[in-house]
């Protein structure tokens, strides 16, 4: 399973764009990249998933370069409610593999 590396923490202010990068140098050909958000005492929630290039949904964008050795989660115009831990998960079809999370990035949004 591809090992992931993320910054331990990040700080931002309301209204700013936040970019969180995840490194996954040994990503395999059939691996997907998925980001999750976790609030205290809750289970992580799916944010966005991609395989290559760029993916955008109503809450975030995911940028994946051609070599796929890293990915960047972009949160536009963050608010206080975006304060959470963000996890990058890299792996193939869930039916054939365990899913191991990294340590995550703790994002603190200030007013």
Partner 1 sequence: DGGITQSPKYLFRKEGQNVTLSCEQNLNHDAMYWYRQDPGQGLRLIYYSQIVNDFQKGDIAEGYSVSREKKESFPLTVTSAQKNPTAFYLCATAQTASGNTIYFGEGSWLTVV
Binding site for partner 1 (CB under 8 A): 32, 34, 36, 41-46, 49, 51, 87, 89-104
Task: Pick the closest to residue 58 from 48, 73, 50 (CA basis).
Answer: 48
Of 43 and 111, CB closest to partner 1: 43
- Going by C-alpha positions, the residue among 47, 41, 40 that lies closest to residue 83 is 40
Q: Is 27 left (phi over 0), alpha (psi -120 to 50) or beta?
A: beta
According to DSSP, residue 5 is labeled B
* Shortest distance (Å) from residue 15 CB to partner 1: 27
Tokens of residue 66, six digits: 């051609």
Burial of residue 83 (CB within 10 Å: 0-12, 13-18, 19+) is: middle
For residues 16 and 99, which CB has a smaller minimum distance to partner 1 in the complex? 99
Closer CB to partner 1, residue 13 or residue 101?
A: 101
> Minimum distance between the CB of residue 39 and partner 1, rounded to whole angstroms?
11
Closest approach, Cβ 27 to partner 1, in A, equals 12
Shortest reach from residue 96's CB to partner 1, in Å? 7
Q: How many CB atoms lie within 10 A of CB 34?
A: 19
* Comparison of 34 and 70: residue with beta carbon closer to partner 1: 34
């Amino acid at each position: 399973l591809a090992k992931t590396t993320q910054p331990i923490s990040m700080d931002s202010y309301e209204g700013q764009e936040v970019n969180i990068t995840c490194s996954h140098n040994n990503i395999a050909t059939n691996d997907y990249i998925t980001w999750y958000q976790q609030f205290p005492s809750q289970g992580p929630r799916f944010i966005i998933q991609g395989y290559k290039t760029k993916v955008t949904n109503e809450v975030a964008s995911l940028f994946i370069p051609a070599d796929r050795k890293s990915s960047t989660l972009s949160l536009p115009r963050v608010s206080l409610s975006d304060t959470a831990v963000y996890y990058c998960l890299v792996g193939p079809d869930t039916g054939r593999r365990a899913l191991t999370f990294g340590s995550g990035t703790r994002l603190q949004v200030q007013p």
